[in-house]
Chains A and B, each alone.
Chain A
């Protein structure tokens, strides 16, 4: 009996980790490909396919697996399978919510947030290393965009200065190729970095569940399934996030796109080299902003950017709240039933978010439409081309907390989800 329960729990954790991996790929496609899609260097479908293949390849290349999740942020001794499950659910739910609103937010931060929340619920504040949270999560979240804006801004300014007077046809053709090259590098780096996280979690779970010895290397099926899950997610493409990054922040041309992607690739690779870990998402977003800052005459929609920064800061507590709620629920119900309840809750919540997304679908067909008030992945930006701030719109900042509120709230009880579903017309109870 004991064995059966353990096996079931292990299987659920593995499936959930793969689901997180999927949302990770899904959410982060835009980091590499948004600008290439926006400048039409690549057709949307081609771009996500290329990115998916490179993520797949990258995942297989990641040999040194970071087997520790949330290392230095939570006390490794308190991580049990139920805690991991609750943390993963927190990460997935936050990824889906931010996707729904088209906000590029860090998948790793969501995962770390979920873990921190679950650990808090499990053992209290003693299980969390707060200085680690500040130095590894909060500070990098603030610094990454600053660095990326500086690098991409300077790069764009150089490029704009140097290509002045070069026939546009020539510069477009050249820079599109450059852009594809640098975007590919970002995709590859993402595959090597991020697939590892899920592999690490699954390995940890397998060790904790006694399925493999403690000194085991990552089994091949884990590498394969993580690589495939992330590539699939990437291929499906988080079009809402892509749209925001490619069209929402800055109207980007191929020169800016190339400068932005090169900046992303350089900063991501350098930061991991120098041991100053920055989120891929934060760097990519900062680079796009920088390409607007450095381009003479370009306008940056700082209101859209502002909402993003808020979301980044909210990521940790929000994912943490979901993780904590899940863990409470798990332990309140207890045993296998509790675990199954949390897993069921994840499925219901994901379905609800997906249904909500169908109201205003964003896909490869409309991802490049002009940024206006009706479309825009629910990130209602004002004055598409001018970037002028229209005064009449309701302030954009509250949109994130208020809109996220009900969905986060719905996680607390299955019952409260029903109205959300009912409103869409076709969710089962």
Chain B
């Protein structure tokens, strides 16, 4: 008597981990490549200046990403957008 379809469960878990955790990770990596870790010293700098200033200076001080980083970022974000588009097609085509 098996109440759990272990095969399907494992498939959902593995694919879920790859897509569900991988996509945010790639997205984060893309952003990191794009924005750089920037001159902000982790806690101190942001806390030192007032909120408004921090946001203003943060946008200003970001160095232009090098071409390599830019390509990397576009690749990462592209994969994520592709995954979302795939999900959309999947939903629309009634593959569920």
Q: Which residues of A contact B (CB under 8 A)?
A: 58, 61-64, 131, 134-135, 139, 143, 147, 150-152, 154-156, 158-159, 162-171, 174-175, 178, 181-182, 185, 188-189, 192-193, 255, 258-259, 262-267, 269-276, 278
Chain A residues contacting B12 (CB-CB under 8 Å) are: 147, 267, 270-271, 274, 276, 278
**Inter-subunit contact B32/A262 (CB<8 Å):** no
Q: What is the number of residues of chain B that contact chain A, defined by CB distance less than 8 Å?
A: 47
Chain A residues contacting B22 (CB-CB under 8 Å) are: 155
Chain A residues contacting B28 (CB-CB under 8 Å) are: 158-159, 162-163, 171, 255
**Inter-subunit contact A131/B1 (CB<8 Å):** yes
30 residue pairs from A and B, CB less than 8 Å apart? A63-B94, A64-B94, A147-B13, A155-B21, A155-B22, A156-B24, A158-B24, A158-B28, A165-B37, A166-B35, A166-B36, A166-B37, A167-B59, A168-B58, A169-B54, A171-B28, A174-B35, A189-B91, A193-B96, A259-B24, A262-B24, A265-B20, A269-B90, A270-B12, A270-B20, A271-B16, A273-B96, A274-B8, A276-B9, A276-B12
Partner of B3, one of A131, A263, A264: A131
Chain B residues contacting A165 (CB-CB under 8 Å) are: 37-38, 40, 42
Cβ contacts B44-60/A at 8 Å (1 or 0 each): 00100000001100110
**Inter-subunit contact B13/A266 (CB<8 Å):** no
**Inter-subunit contact B40/A167 (CB<8 Å):** yes
B71 close to A (CB within 8 Å): no
**Inter-subunit contact B16/A263 (CB<8 Å):** yes
A193 to B91, CA, bound (A): 9
Expressed in whole angstroms, the minimum distance between the Cβ of B30 and any Cβ of chain A is 8
- Nearest residue (CB) in A for B40 is A167
B23 close to A (CB within 8 Å): yes
Chain B residues contacting A266 (CB-CB under 8 Å) are: 15-16, 19-20, 23, 87
A63 to B92, CA, bound (A): 9
Chain B residues contacting A135 (CB-CB under 8 Å) are: 3-5
A167 to B25, CA, bound (A): 17
**Inter-subunit contact A167/B29 (CB<8 Å):** no
Expressed in whole angstroms, the minimum distance between the Cβ of B86 and any Cβ of chain A is 10
